[in-house]
Amino acid sequence: MDRILVAGAGYAGVFAAKELARHGIGVTVVNAKPYHQLTTWLHEAAGGRHPVDDYKIDLADLFYGLDVQVEVDEIHRVDWKQTRLVGRLGTYPYERAVIGLGSAPEYFSITGLYEHSLPLKSLESARVIRRHIETQVRRYAKDGNVSRLTVVIGGGGLTGIEFAGELAEWLPKIGRTYHVDQRQFVIVCVEAMPDILPMLPPNQRSLARRELERAGVQFKAGSAIVRVEDQAVYLASGETLCAGTIVWTGGVRATPVLQASGLTCDHKGRARVDGTLQSVDDDRLWIVGDCARLDRAGKPLPPTAQLATQMGRHAAINLMRVLNGEGQELFVPKIYGTLASLGHSRGVGDLAGVRTSGRLAGVFKELTKVRYLLQLGGMRMVNRKRRLRTLQV
């Protein structure tokens, strides 16, 4: 039997590859980097909690002992008519493939946003943000330009809020290192919608807001960013925020590879799949995670890691059913809730329908980390990444 090709080693791709390999099916994974990045914890990496490189796992280590061959290459196109992936370094023929190439920042055509903001989306972008903030603090210590100490976060969703929580704890520490009064730092979170964390109920949003405001974060909700220049953010209200660092977390769209491949995509570039996660264009392709468009109750499923892992595993199971001549099963998403960290030990959200906040939510958030590492590689992985856990269990 030909090897199954898995494009992308993110949350969806890794779970698809592991599921297939565990059932004795040879897999080739093509990924732009030789590692799996722990994307859901990138706010910690960018916000100075642990060294950035701690937030990656080498693919060779992840697939140790399994028949998974890793190719490091950047895919440009899924040439589904010729059943091959076209990469920068080579082409990868397949009989059947799982595509999990994730998403990229969405800039909504806001003038200057792409050019003058830093996205928080990859390990490298987390490293850039972290260095940039430290550089601004060092420069302030020399030139006294106080706007260098302002960080504007565009987007009050999960990523923006979790990053604000990290910054509120990290900036005072950098201040001490560079002898800068911590009261000089300003963190402003700008959200176009009327409130932050739209996926949470209103009372939990208020809790998150209050908690972060106590830590020094300012909010501008219902304020759309209309233009960005070097170190300046212009709001629809007419207000201008001068900032040494502008981080954009306000939205994602699917990888451009799918549209470039001529697959049927929605307005956010997500390739349309049927209820089994098979591409509507080609039954040799399963498309999973942030780059797939699947509706439930008339709405597209949100781009989350918890759904990406489920989709990856489900696509692998369906693919094996096809190989065995069996019918495929419909994908039924299980949404276990949303937990947002507010710094290293506190949080807000709900887990399996139970609303939680404060330290308890912080503990739950830590437990979701342990759970993910266990799923990835058992106790071996939990121990390997021990340093990343605030809660040592």
- Name the residue among 310, 276, 274, 275 with its Cα closest to residue 290: 310
Q: Binding to ligand FAD by residue 153, rule CB under 6 A?
A: no
Which of residues 305 and 322 has its CB atom nearest to ligand FAD in the complex? 305
CA 316 to chain centre: 22
| Residue among 19, 44, 162, 191 flagged as catalytic | 162
Q: Binding to ligand FAD by residue 40, rule CB under 6 A?
A: yes
Residue 141 C-beta: closest distance to ligand FAD, Å: 29
User: Cβ(266)–Cβ(259) under 8 Å?
Assistant: no
Catalytic residue status for 162: yes
Measured CA to CA, the distance from residue 19 to residue 391 in angstroms comes to: 29
The residue within the footprint of ligand FAD, chosen from 3, 5, 6, 10 (CB under 6 A), is 10
Among the residue ranges 11-19, 132-140, 259-267, 313-321, the one whose residues contact ligand FAD (CB under 6 A): 11-19
Structure tokens at 343: 């710094």
Which of residues 153 and 171 has its CB atom nearest to ligand FAD in the complex? 153
How far CA 218 is from CA of 148, 191, 306, 329, 334, in Å, comes to 16, 11, 30, 47, 34
Binding mask 295-324 for ligand FAD (x = CB under 6 A): --------xxxx-x----------------
Query: DSSP string spanning 86-135?
Result: EESS-EEE-SSEEE---EEE--TT-BTHHHH-EE--SHHHHHHHHHHHHH
CB atoms within 10 A of CB 117: 24
Measured CA to CA, the distance from residue 108 to residue 237 in angstroms comes to: 18
Residue 372 C-beta: closest distance to ligand FAD, Å: 9
Binding mask 353-392 for ligand FAD (x = CB under 6 A): ----------------------------------------
CA angle 225, 226, 228 (to 5 degrees): 80
Structure tokens at 230: 């070097």
Q: Binding to ligand FAD by residue 74, rule CB under 6 A?
A: yes
- Give SS3 for 79: strand
Q: Binding to ligand FAD by residue 196, rule CB under 6 A?
A: no
The pair phi, psi for residue 383, each rounded to 5°, is -70, -40
Which of residues 86 and 232 has its CB atom nearest to ligand FAD in the complex? 86
Among the residue ranges 2-10, 169-177, 210-218, 350-358, the one whose residues contact ligand FAD (CB under 6 A): 2-10
Q: Binding to ligand FAD by residue 343, rule CB under 6 A?
A: no
Residue 142 C-beta: closest distance to ligand FAD, Å: 31
Residue 176 C-beta: closest distance to ligand FAD, Å: 26
The residue within the footprint of ligand FAD, chosen from 49, 121, 205, 344 (CB under 6 A), is 121
How many residues bind ligand FAD (CB under 6 A)? The answer is: 34
Non-local (6+) Cβ contacts of 103 within 8 A are 121, 252, 253, 254, 255, 290, 291, 303
Residue 381 C-beta: closest distance to ligand FAD, Å: 16
The residue within the footprint of ligand FAD, chosen from 4, 6, 11, 174 (CB under 6 A), is 11
Measured CA to CA, the distance from residue 103 to residue 33 in angstroms comes to: 15
Q: Binding to ligand FAD by residue 254, rule CB under 6 A?
A: no
Among the residue ranges 10-18, 193-201, 211-219, 224-232, the one whose residues contact ligand FAD (CB under 6 A): 10-18
The pair phi, psi for residue 338, each rounded to 5°, is -130, 130
Q: Binding to ligand FAD by residue 31, rule CB under 6 A?
A: yes
Contact positions with ligand FAD (CB under 6 A) in 90-109: 100-102
CA 186 to chain centre: 25
Measured CA to CA, the distance from residue 53 to residue 29 in angstroms comes to: 21
| Torsion angle in degrees (nearest 10) through CA of 318, 320, 324, 327 | 0
- Name the residue among 393, 321, 265 with its Cα closest to residue 382: 393
Q: What is the binding site for ligand FAD (CB under 6 A)? A: 8-13, 30-33, 39-40, 42-43, 74-75, 100-102, 120-121, 158-159, 162, 255, 257, 289-291, 303-306, 308
Give the active site residues: 162
